Structure 1
Amino acid sequence: MSSAFSGAAHAVPDYAQFYADFKLDSVAAELAGSLETGVNACVECCDRHATPGRIALNWEGKDGRSASYTFAQLQELSGRFANFLKAQGVQPGDRVAGLLPRTPELLVAILGAWRAGAVYQPLFTAFGSKSIEYRVAASEARLIVTDADNRHKLDEVPQCPPVMTVNGASALAAGDLGFWDEMGKHSTEFSPVMRKAEDAFIMLFTSGTTGPAKGVSVPLKALLSFYVYTRYAVDLRPEDAFWNIADPGWAYGLYYCVTGPLMMGHAITFYEGSFTVESTYRIIKKYGITNLTGSPTAYRMLIAAGAEAAAPVKGQLRAVSSAGEPLNPEVIRWFREHLDTLINDHYGQTETGMVLCNHHGLQHAVHMGSAGLAMPGYRLAVIDDDEKELGVGEPGVLAVDRPRSPIYWFQGYWQQDNSRDRSDYYVTGDTVELNQDGSISFIGRGDDIITSSGYRIGPFDVESALLEHPAVVEAAVVGKPDPERTELVKAFVVLNKDYAPSAALTEELQQYVKRRLAAHSYPREIEFLTELPKTPSGKLQRFILRNQEIAKAKM
């Protein structure tokens, strides 16, 4: 690594001066490759750190097993996987999908795809067959890597691409390729395929509101943005033990649990099990975690367990970062009092990565309720509907000033006509307010995205799944305010004349959506209506239903 990271690790620069002096070239110098002549994500996140004994991954399984992997081991395993991909006819730029929990095989698949110049596409393990089917078809994935627990979901995916399964003691499905069997057939030697700055290395899908989920093709130049966030907002230092509890099946986990830390040559932590208060505190204690990132929902669950549960790790965490939804002031106060640590709020989207942060690694004032300041390399603005920049105290929409944001990387949605989007601004759709000191406070969302337990859920997907059930004629889905999860998914349903509302039907519809989409996406409440609110032209007006739920919550 260059001296920017490995040098004065404890130095905390002044934000204003650092932001003013920021140059793209200084960050690009962190790469082993070159954005002009060629770069490979596996080289950046693995090969260049493969010195003897240097740990890349600390893994703990849901059954209590644990293991550590060095960068050198992952370099060899990624070579085997890349050779396997080549033998399967996977070309640079092709998509390789992973439907895997947080296991070593997941990291091998990610790094191996990158080594081969392919594009890694995450499939969240809670997805049902419908969610998988849409994403795999839209991305034209050439291969899906999964495990025995998730393999059955692919049986309902038409025209499913070839499947590679980590089967353990389970028998392979007909036609499947065994992960470790295939790995053993191939050499560890594979020269990384160098790619251009604009070439993709990650493919994700956002949650849609008025249509299907949109594809986001992440180019290699986004590595610079991921580095800046990890280095200056998270303040990851060489002496830290780091854990991002987010799932790599989503953007925050893939960008900042995997890519950013590994790019810095830092060990990451995978815990395969589900989130619980007990397991979280145990992992923090066992691995000596000093730098933690996650969502406010997870942090509120820690708070609910009380100060006694937190006592064994009090004072151990040096820095805690929060993303996915606004951070409530009581979380900040509780972490300060009972964990003796500072927790900072961060904001971003799948399309941008993190762009607005209270930076642990830069000196600036942190105000309660503020999402922070623009990340170095980005210029943010608060604009109105006419894209006029607004002043202090004027609510507007948060936007990225693209021409003056040298590490901005979003290229437009996958396989969509983006030619009409010639604005100088990327408009997030989220309502914010500029403060006197230049910081920005979050007010609300201008779209219909539901944030529940840190997950961003598109109502369109849930409505589509409900409409596939024979009982449902129409459906509208909104977020209902909830003190623990931020929002609950609530569905309003108009039934077919042959069906009547009942508790049994409610349960049936909930389970139907859970199977088709994901465990976190099903409607926890269903209300049956005779009609839904619509415009004269027939467009669904979700905001009326959402505002009703907000009003009820205030009563």
Structure 2
Amino acid sequence: MNDAATAAATATAAAVSSPEPTRSGYADGFARANLPPRELWPDFLFDLPELRYPERLNCVAELLDKGVERGWGERTALTGARETLSYAALLARVDRIAHVLRQDLGLATGSRVLLRGANCPMMAACILAVIKAGCIAVPTMPLLRARELGAIAAKARVNAVLCAASLCGEIEALELGGAPLVCFDSEQPHGLEARMTAYDEPFAACDSAADDVCLISFTSGTTGIPKGTMHFHRDVLAICDCFPRHTLGAKIDDVFIGTPPLAFTFGLGGLLLFPLRVGARAVLIEKLTPETLLAAIEQHRATVCFTAPTFYRQMATLAPQFDLSSLSRTVSAGEALPVATREAWQAATGLAMIDGIGATEMLHIFISAAGDAVRPGATGKPVPGYVACILDEAGGQVGPGVIGRLAVKGPTGCRYLDDPRQRDYVRDGWNLTGDAYEMDADGYFYYRSRLDDMIISAGYNIAGAEVEEALLRHPAVAECGVVGRADPERGQVVEAHVVLRPGHAASSELVQALQEFVKQQIAPYKYPRAVRFREQLPRTETGKLQRFKLRADTA
């Protein structure tokens, strides 16, 4: 048995399945009252010394206040399109906002604050202030509409809203039950900036418990029905002390940049929490295209980039036009990284991609590899602090070479906000991500498909991701998504939705050429029997392909 399998097999014995709760620091008990029953929690692992946090903990005080105490006050913390903040200036702003929340708005500790804004220093400061004040941050994506925001606000029973002035329209359309709306990036007399001027004294961080909820993140909706995931103060520090410390190798002179929104846990970690943990700088830019991201990397001399595979694929063709010599690490997550995209990016930049799988339920990346440990085609190995294995349909662990359900344990884990789907995600202490994976004899994990994306055609199991990987190697294909379409004879057939590169036109001849191209690369029975050309693919704001919309669109 390899090391990874051994670790997974013994994880249950080392896990803390339901540690006794500590005294909450919150007056409002909504969050604890709506955690799942403790028997439905996953097991937690705190084996690494750096994961043994004190019982009383405010993660923002640990990240920001202590950073200034360490002497980082004059270092640049955040750079935006219109302003740059040092660590000391960021701390002062966070403290002023915290005073507004607790004094002007009269929010009790444990209150939920919905946040809405694009990536910028003010949005980052608002998130940090909510948590430091002892409230619970509920960040939301800038592109969400009133109906979607209303569902989130109702589920989390929000007590206040902090929103960028340019995005207040959708919020104003909501019935918030008396919860105040305060706009930032605003010159209004009752806007956040105006309120902040009344306060210039430090704010004493809330005496919160390590297991008080500080963040409710809603899933990005790849399955159509978002869920609220609840995370503790200790969870926020745990993700900072696992992937960026042991795999990414984050350091004080790094400059972080990327596209994921701060409302998405991939972006919250990679573009705010991880840099703060080590005293580094983050560049927060509101709207980025592949070309403007490359220009920003060049301008700010960024060293670490976080974005989705789709962006890397598009940037690869543009990379030679920019000076990317400062860039040393590029992280891909959010969806599976095709080998073709990895190869194109490395050919263009000389950088071996750091692939990773994370989940909103787990807060950030838990399987990855970097540097010499990268194995093309594999996501990687469990990040230190986590263990993983493959389970069969009966819940038993299987060995190398068998495709099954990916299961993971670590210092973070799934706790849905009042949602019966908790029983589906956590089984026997394991977090089940919904991904089909395969492990090799060396303990590397290989993505095969989402479990609900496995196509069964004429008795064959076909992973849509494998067909996508083959199609992406064709010079005419810019993007593609593969799903199963119901078929009376075969049960399902493989259907490819294809976006073409400029200069290529949809035709029956191209359909046949793509089908033959796939047959030459993978087993012929996997080829797409149906090909549909599209102007664009449906994606979430975080860049994830919404295959459920492709399935709904099959005819």
TM-score scaled to structure 2, two decimals? Answer: 0.71
Contact 1:347–1:371 (8 Å) recurs in 2? yes
1:139 maps onto 2:156 in alignment: yes
Does 1:28 pair with 2:90?
no
Amino acid at match of 1:163: L
> CA separation of 1:339/1:47 partners in 2, compared to 1, >3 Å: closer, same or farther?
same
Look up the match of 2:133.
116
Letter in 1 for 2:264: W
1:49 counterpart (51, 67, 90): 67
Does residue 397 of the first structure (1) align with residue 405 of the second (2)?
A: yes
The AA in structure 1 aligned to 2:383 is M
- 1:283 maps onto 2:296 in alignment: yes
| Inter-CA distance 483–419: structure 2 relative to 1 (3 Å threshold) | closer
**CA displacement 1:330-371 (0-9 Å, x = unmatched):** 22222322212221210011001344433337x63x221101
| Match of residue 320 from structure 2 | 308
Question: Which residue of the partner structure matches residue 452 of structure 2?
Answer: 447
State whether structure 2 residue 424 is matched by structure 1 residue 426: no
**Alignment of structure 1 residues 160-175 onto 2, 5 Å:** 161-168=179-186
**Structure 2 stretches lacking a partner, 5+ long:** 15-44, 455-463, 469-480, 484-493, 502-534
Report the Cα offset of residue 262 of structure 1: 1.2
Label 1:193 to 1:479 Cα distance change in 2 as closer, same or farther (>3 A). farther
Pairwise CA distance, 1:298: 0.8
Q: 1:162 to 1:256 in 2, by over 3 A?
A: same
Matched, 1:230 2:241: no
Conservation of the 8 A alpha-carbon contact between 2:222 and 2:546: no
Residue of structure 2 in register with 1:468 after alignment:
none
Q: How many angstroms apart in 2 are the aligned matches of 1:156 and 1:354?
A: 32
What residue number does 1:325 align with? Answer: 335
Contact kept in structure 1, 2:255 and 2:301, CA below 8 Å: yes
- Structure 1 equivalent of residue 474 of structure 2: none
Which residues of structure 1 form unaligned runs of 5+?
A: 1-13, 460-477, 486-509, 526-541
Distance 2:553 2:448 in 1: 19
CA RMSD of aligned residues (A): 3.8
- Write the letter of the residue equivalent to 1:82: A
Q: Which residue matches 1:501?
A: none
Identity between Structure 1 and Structure 2 (%): 23
> What secondary structure, in the 3-state scheme, does the structure 1 residue paired with 2:143 have?
coil
Is the Cα–Cα contact under 8 Å of residues 318 and 342 in structure 1 kept in the other structure? Answer: no
Deviations 1:28-85 (A, max 9, x none): 36xxxx432x11122122111113412211112xxxx3x2211111111111111111
| Alignment pair present for 1:72 and 2:88 | yes
Residue number in structure 2 paired with 1:241:
255
Distance in structure 1 (CA, Å) of the matches to 2:155 and 2:495: 27
Instruction: Determine the structure 2 residue equivalent to 1:408.
Output: 412
Size of the aligned set, in residue pairs, is 442
Q: Is the 8 A contact 2:260 2:542 kept in 1?
A: no
C-alpha deviation, 1:292, in angstroms: 1.3
Shift in CA distance, 317/198, structure 1 to aligned 2, threshold 3 Å? same
Alpha-carbon displacement from aligned partner over 1:421-455 (angstroms, at most 9, x marks no partner): 66222111110111121101000001369999xxx
The one-character-per-residue Cα deviations of 1:140-165 (angstroms, maximum 9, x if unpaired) are 11111112221111132123521111
- Secondary structure of the residue that 2:397 maps to in structure 1? coil
- Counterpart check, 1:255 vs 2:259: no
Assess, with a 3 A threshold, how the Cα gap between structure 1 residues 422 and 330 changes in structure 2: closer, same or farther: closer
Letter in 1 for 2:213: A
For residues 165 and 328 of structure 1, the distance between their equivalents in structure 2, rounded to whole angstroms, comes to 41
Which 10-residue stretch deviates more, 90-99 or 201-210? 201-210
Residue in 2 that maps onto 1:182: 195
2:370 is the alignment partner of 1:357: no
* Residue from 305, 324, 327 that aligns with 1:292: 305
Is 1:193–2:210 an aligned residue pair? no
> Using the alignment, how far apart are the partners of 2:247 and 2:388 within structure 1?
16
Local SS of the residue matching 2:80: strand
Letter of the 1:35 counterpart: P
Partner of 2:512: none
Change over 3 Å in CA distance of 1:69–1:300 after alignment to 2: same
